[in-house]
Structure 1
Amino acid sequence: MSDAAERILFEEPGGRWWLVALGPALCLVVLVAEAIIGSGVHWLGLALFSVLLAGLVALQVVAARRHASVLLTPAVLRNGAETLEVADIALVLPEADPFAEDLEPWEIAPSLGELSGVPRRRTAIGLRLRDGSVVRAWARDGDGFRTELERLVAHEADEADEAEDGER
């Protein structure tokens, strides 16, 4: 692939590794408090609890990075574990009216990724694909993601128009 195709236009990792340190840090605070109070330090209990918390949070971070991450390059859009070629996107659909009584058709379309719907605290964006189907892409920063998608899809359409004009 060329450097332009590998350039990252938008990225959300889904989970952050620094969160794994929160549990052990809390246990360290409790250890210091117990030492200051003088009530006896529970070394083994705090050590085991620290490892347990770090392990559980690490599992959550791995799952979030796999299933709730977003990557947009000039060539591909990846939502979670599903990758879609940008060339397959025909149109970025307009935002839904939050006050409308009826849902837009794209609001009930399948979402990209292997989750059953759009992950919590993510904004859905409707996409019409070249085959006529409609899907929902999603990201935490919905406005930034929409801006990059619209710019990229408009650029792809311009290139396709130029290619057709060149063939004539």
Structure 2
Amino acid sequence: MTGADPAAGTTDEPVLYAETGSRPWVLLFGPVLAAAGIGLESLAPGGPSFALWLGVGLLVFLYTLVLVRSRRRFLRVELTPSTLVQGSTRLPMSQVTSLRAADEDHHGLRVLGDGPVVPRRLTPVVLRLSDGTRAVAWARDGAALRQAIGDLLRARASS
């Protein structure tokens, strides 16, 4: 497989749509909280408790680090001409034959990704697969994912 890193799952293909699952700036919450606590407590009599605030900042940082890493793993969306990635699930785009109606009921259908249901606050996109079944993809911006998949399917049909 030339031009690909199988461990990272990256290829030389163009990325048509991508969501990371979480933004890294969230990791700044712990250090900012610690700095704000030290700053406010320095105005109080007795001065700031550096060790306490640094400990609180470190705990909040570690908690958000776990959240960011898990969200980046399980809520990642990436569409290339050959693959749709939903969390740790990879669906070859050759298996997708069409998009279903935007308002189609998706309950009871197989959900792509690592969970049994579409994650909260994410928009479902119902796909028709080559074996005749339907599956549910999802994204924060479901309309943009739907548009990207639709464009890819139209380009594939015209070639």
Do structure 1's residue 84 and structure 2's residue 91 form an aligned pair?
yes
TM-score (norm 1): 0.84
| Alpha-carbon separation, structure 2, partners of 1:30 and 1:143 | 41
1:37 match: secondary structure: coil
Aligned to 2:60: 53
Aligned to 2:130: 130
Measured after TM superposition, the shift of residue 74 of structure 1 is 0.8
Moved over 6 A (4+): none
Gaps of 5+ in 1: 98-103, 160-168
Aligned to 2:6: none
User: What are the Cα deviations for residues 58-94 of structure 1, in whole angstroms up to 9, with x where unaligned?
Assistant: 0000000000010001111001110111111011111
Measured after TM superposition, the shift of residue 5 of structure 1 is 6.2
State the identity %.
28
User: What are the Cα deviations for residues 81-134 of structure 1, in whole angstroms up to 9, with x where unaligned?
Assistant: 10111111011111116xxxxxx3x44311101112111110001001001111
Aligned to 1:164: none
Aligned counterpart for 2:82 among listed residues 47, 62, 75: 75
| Alpha-carbon separation, structure 1, partners of 2:36 and 2:87 | 35
1:36 match: secondary structure: coil
More helix by share: 1
| Alpha-carbon separation, structure 2, partners of 1:143 and 1:45 | 46
Aligned to 2:45: 38
| Alpha-carbon separation, structure 2, partners of 1:118 and 1:84 | 16
Gaps of 5+ in 2: 4-10
- Say how many residue pairs are matched: 152
Aligned to 1:101: none
User: What are the Cα deviations for residues 26-72 of structure 1, in whole angstroms up to 9, with x where unaligned?
Assistant: 11111001112334311111111111110010000000000001000
Aligned to 1:147: 147
TM-score (norm 2): 0.89
For 2:152, the aligned partner's letter is L
